[in-house]
A and B are shown apart, each in its own frame.
Chain A
Amino acid sequence: MDPGFFIQILVNGLVNSGIYIIVSLGLALSVGVLGILNISHGNLLIFTTYLTYWFWRLWGLDPLMSLLITVPTGFVLGALIYRGVVKQVLHAPHINQLILTFGIAVVLSSLMEFFWSSNVRFVSTEYQAVSISLGMAQIGSLSVAILLVAFTVCLILHLFLTKTNIGKSIRAVSQNPKGAALVGIDVDRIYLVSFGVSIALGSFAGVFWLLIGYITPYVGDILTLKAFSIIVVAGLGNLYGVIWASLLLGLSESFVKGYFGPGWADAVFFGIIMLVLIYRSFRTEGGS
């Protein structure tokens, strides 16, 4: 086994995991707080990532600079969607909630097809090609940056949820919305903020996804599915579990891709998700 190849695969897996962590933290936040599985999570984040592509294409704006625009846009988009539609089904049966967010996902994918066609879109910058030599392997500077960024995002989210008032309110609402309302927390506002932050996190990850790869209107569905797998492995709504679950899935995906070919890599996600669900279903009474 070639050690250089091994390190390359390891780094690729870690970088993908870094992006998955940020995407999945967003999804885990909205599931944990609102109790609604947002099937349009990936589509929303790719939608804002198309803005990054547009800014770069039309005005030559650096993708990293566009984070200053797309992350707030993600927050506002999330808040609007919460206010406009998600809020209406907070107390509806689960099945209606799933169908609604599925509907949002379809509308967004169709809009993206309409605006940007189904062609593959990517950006090219000078720093994408810069790499650091580690003796046996070359590691892209972007890879290092993504790992640092993922770590920082986890840290900031942790501090936000444990040290700030609004973060503490979010945790209170996720544990017991009625109790939180009784002690004077505006639950509706917390829902709005959580949904906004959830999409903002996604939009943040989207830019890095674009930098190391490409986007199409259908990438969102794939990201949603991957984030699902991760939060299922972590346990729905468990934010800290997301970190190791992302590493597990990101690394296994990368190793399967490296040693068995890219075709089977996606099957890893589905395989693990099935195994974990089946294991859960037999371990606990009632399934959840």
Chain B
Amino acid sequence: MKNVELKGIITSAVFIALLLTLPPLLPSTYYLDLLVVIFIYASLALSWDILARTGQISFAHHAFFGIGAYVSVLLYLKGFNPLVGIAAGGLASGIAAFGLGLATLRLRGMYFAIATLAFAGFMHISILQLSDFTGGAGGITLDEPIFGGDLYAAYLLALAIALISISTSVILNRSRVYYAMKVMASNETVAKTVGINVTKTILLIFTISSVFPGLAGAFYAHYIAFVNPEIAFNVGIALAVLAMAVFGGMGTTMGPVLGAAILKIVEEQLRVTITYGHMIIYGLILIAVIILFPKGLMGLWEKLRSKMD
């Protein structure tokens, strides 16, 4: 067991060192930008998956992304440092999730999913309508991107956000809460019988997991130096995040990260070749994965490995 852990730590250290030295070697900033976007989506997909481990599925990921984006931008306009804004964005998202979680404490499955969808829709319209405050449909343009447009610094920050999400996922999957989540997801009555406080656990996980989309949204708004409701509350985000986690393998840390990397690269390629309807790839992947290999890439990998042994 100790050996496996050591191996894991060394592999991750090497991988992080590689990512840190990679940027100057890239042929153009296009790839640097692609990596930043992949980090953001890896963080989003992981945080969605962390909640899904409790058996609850959220369609409000784009809402937390949007809350983070708007909070940080509005604070920036008030004169705060972008980094403070990004932290506040994550915090605001977590608080919003805590509130929503309290209100929908006893909802499960479809009901919870619908409630999150309605919450996202309500947030979107509110931001659109409160135009004196939020700039309405036109959005808000910032005077400069984060770190004055220094791409490498932005890259490091995105990497940091992704690493925080990954560490949270790893820690959760090794803690006692992991077993509680597993039992809850498969049978709530059993979970209650063995003394797990189901509503408290869901509330805790929902709050923690919603901080990351807030951070990601806040970072992204500063990264492109612009925010509007179309970008911040884009349902496409919720869709992509779901597809990434499912494709990579739900319930694992590697799965959603891998899913984010692969699908984002595929999407970039498709966007160039098919202008209309390239989102179809996400839909087809969702259908194919659920029917053919519901455990995603990680499930396939496990199967392959057990066959080799």
Contact = CB atoms under 8 A, between A and B. Distances in A.
Instruction: Answer yes or no: are A and B bound together in one complex.
Output: yes
30 contacts: A88-B291, A92-B290, A96-B294, A98-B113, A99-B290, A102-B239, A102-B286, A103-B285, A103-B286, A103-B290, A107-B284, A108-B283, A110-B278, A110-B279, A111-B280, A113-B279, A114-B276, A225-B117, A228-B117, A264-B125, A264-B129, A267-B126, A269-B118, A274-B103, A274-B115, A277-B114, A278-B104, A280-B111, A285-B106, A286-B106
A209 to B, nearest CB: 19
Contact of B110 (A94, A273, A274): A94
A117 interface: yes
A101 B269 CA distance: 26
A95 B283 contact: no
Given A99-B290, A111-B277, A263 B104 contact: no
A106 interface: yes
B28 to A, nearest CB: 30
A270 B122 contact: yes
B115 A104 contact: no
Given A99-B246, A99-B290, A228-B117, A107 B104 contact: no
Contacts of B108: 286-288
A111 B287 CA distance: 15
Contacts of B235: 221
Contacts of B114: 37, 228, 232, 273, 277
A110 B111 contact: no
A114 B106 CA distance: 41
Contacts of A271: 122
A72 B45 CA distance: 40
Interface in A204-242: 221, 225, 228-229, 232, 236
Interface residues of B, number: 46
A274 B122 CA distance: 9
Interface in A61-102: 85, 88-89, 92-96, 98-100, 102
Interface of A: 37, 85, 88-89, 92-96, 98-100, 102-111, 113-114, 117-118, 221, 225, 228-229, 232, 236, 263-264, 266-267, 269-271, 273-274, 277-278, 280-282, 284-288
B128 interface: yes
Interface string B93-111: 0000000000111111111
B115 A106 contact: no
Interface centre among B55, B118, B126 (most CB of A within 10 A): B118
A98 to B, nearest CB: 6
Contacts of B44: none
Nearest to A265: B125
Contacts of A282: 106
B52 interface: yes
Contacts of A288: 108, 111
B283 to A, nearest CB: 3
Nearest to A118: B276
Residue of A37, A102, A105, A274 with highest tally of chain B CB at under 10 A = A102
A117 B276 CA distance: 7
A89 B286 contact: no
Contacts of B129: 263-264, 267
B119 interface: yes
Contacts of A107: 280, 283-284, 287
A104 B105 contact: no
A80 to B, nearest CB: 14
B106 to A, nearest CB: 4
